Chain A
């Protein structure tokens, strides 16, 4: 479904990604973990064509998206749904208008049908009845979930989640994990999940990839990564820091 080869990205003098290879099958769920600032969000934005790589190729359903112009990319993006790390809600619109945005140009849907699907999506993320509110009136976690509702409401084939459970309480985190698993299994959606939440990573991923030093340092089925004895992988999964100033 998604094939990444030799992806390299630099911002000025800073190399963020170098020679990333990643193959994601249809219906598969891949979790990407890695240190803060190592380029997980940047990688995700490449998969949907928001950023263009300096080298390498990205194929979605066999189509090379790195050489497409913005108009061609728009067509490819109809397959995708994306949850941004910052939620990125449209702050001049209500929650309902945000979630219904993808239906803006759909003449085959009646307003009642759209309202029904919006309500259904908000129900799925545990936020029923907040259609009339504005993003500025929501808490961070609520915004995140509205962003999730906006990404899933039109039933895309591929979903990219950038830290879906960060900033959520444990109970809502659990229900979001369940939701991601349900979407994955019932709708056969291909998902790429960036997360720092190891419990969530263990549950939603068929495979896990650890991004380290601009590359994919380790990748494999979830149980084998979590059982790995490699020191870098171990330290990340167990969350061990190396104290820089032991006396401080």
Chain B
């Protein structure tokens, strides 16, 4: 029982401190901006170097989604609705969530390991003695870069996923191309696309923020860095999956209400 209480209060403290870090980072961004060069370096690292991971994830998800949907819909003679299902679920759910998870594994871990190592080797203290705030120099460029890179990667994953689904559906399973395309456009709303992009921006923030928080607060020693890295990936992934449900629930009526 006592153990449980300690665990919960640790968890809540961590959440609170992460919120403070986010506030610091956004305040710093608004007041002082960011070095374009630092941001570009991070966008390159997060965006360009995540290409293979995101392309493969997007393509194979689109393909298996098309195949599985077709097998089920074929029984009720709804073959031509297959691509619509692929497109809607890629845009609003699978695209952002899977991209977020893959980026959490690649980028979130790298951020936590880098910042954690800097903390352990006193480089963060050295930054502070050189009159540089770690939030300005380390957190802001990463947060901003993730906000830019993740929507782009998500859009890419969605496009590739739908393309791969189309190839499997039309090329392999013999769905009528014109009907499939027509239905896809008819059932995919602007709401779905907008929701996917909003989610991507939020997940970018989650990955960068959790990575930075875990790195900056890691325990001293090599084991501390290892643990921070693992925790960053786990915490970011769980946050993405849990928040996805609530975002879908909240954003759908909001965006529909806006008349998109």
The answer to whether B252 has its CB under 8 Å from any CB of chain A is no
The answer to whether B72 has its CB under 8 Å from any CB of chain A is no
Please determine whether A88 and B126 come into contact, CB atoms closer than 8 angstroms. Answer: yes
Cα distance A102–B128 in the bound complex, in angstroms: 11
The answer to whether A185 has its CB under 8 Å from any CB of chain B is no
Please determine whether B128 and A91 come into contact, CB atoms closer than 8 angstroms. Answer: no
Expressed in whole angstroms, the minimum distance between the Cβ of A242 and any Cβ of chain B is 31
Cα distance A48–B131 in the bound complex, in angstroms: 11
List B contacts of A74 (CB < 8 A): 128, 131-133
Q: How many A-B residue pairs have CB under 8 A?
A: 49
Please determine whether A84 and B122 come into contact, CB atoms closer than 8 angstroms. Answer: yes
Please determine whether A48 and B121 come into contact, CB atoms closer than 8 angstroms. Answer: no
The answer to whether B130 has its CB under 8 Å from any CB of chain A is yes
Please determine whether A80 and B129 come into contact, CB atoms closer than 8 angstroms. Answer: yes
List A contacts of B130 (CB < 8 A): 77, 101-102, 150
A 44-75 to B, binary, CB cutoff 8 A, 1 in contact else 0: 01001110000000000000000000110111
List A contacts of B125 (CB < 8 A): 45, 50, 84, 88
Please determine whether A48 and B129 come into contact, CB atoms closer than 8 angstroms. Answer: yes
List A contacts of B129 (CB < 8 A): 48, 50, 77, 80-82
The answer to whether B123 has its CB under 8 Å from any CB of chain A is yes
Cα distance A92–B121 in the bound complex, in angstroms: 13
List A contacts of B126 (CB < 8 A): 82, 84, 88-90
Query: Looking across the interface, which residue of chain B has its beta carbon closest to that of A80?
Result: B129
Please determine whether A102 and B123 come into contact, CB atoms closer than 8 angstroms. Answer: no
Expressed in whole angstroms, the minimum distance between the Cβ of A16 and any Cβ of chain B is 15
Interface centre among A77, A88, A104 (most CB of B within 10 A): A88
On chain B, the number of residues with a Cβ less than 8 Å from chain A's Cβ atoms is: 14
Q: Which of A45, A82, A88 contacts B123 (CB 8 A)?
A: A88
Cα distance A80–B128 in the bound complex, in angstroms: 11
Please determine whether B132 and A86 come into contact, CB atoms closer than 8 angstroms. Answer: no
List A contacts of B114 (CB < 8 A): 92
The answer to whether A199 has its CB under 8 Å from any CB of chain B is no
Query: Looking across the interface, which residue of chain A has its beta carbon closest to that of B134?
Result: A70
List B contacts of A86 (CB < 8 A): 121-122
Expressed in whole angstroms, the minimum distance between the Cβ of A235 and any Cβ of chain B is 31
List B contacts of A91 (CB < 8 A): 121, 123
Cα distance A92–B124 in the bound complex, in angstroms: 13
A 70-114 to B, binary, CB cutoff 8 A, 1 in contact else 0: 110111011011101010111110000000011010000000000
CB-CB nearest 4 A-B residue pairs = A88-B122, A88-B126, A82-B129, A74-B131
Identify the B interface with A (CB < 8 A): 114, 118, 121-123, 125-133
28 example contacts (A-B, Cβ-Cβ < 8 A) are as follows A45-B125, A50-B128, A50-B129, A70-B128, A71-B133, A73-B128, A74-B128, A74-B131, A77-B128, A77-B130, A77-B131, A78-B131, A82-B126, A82-B129, A84-B126, A86-B121, A86-B122, A88-B121, A89-B126, A90-B118, A90-B123, A90-B126, A90-B127, A91-B121, A92-B114, A102-B131, A104-B132, A150-B130
Identify the A interface with B (CB < 8 A): 45, 48-50, 70-71, 73-75, 77-78, 80-82, 84, 86, 88-92, 101-102, 104, 150
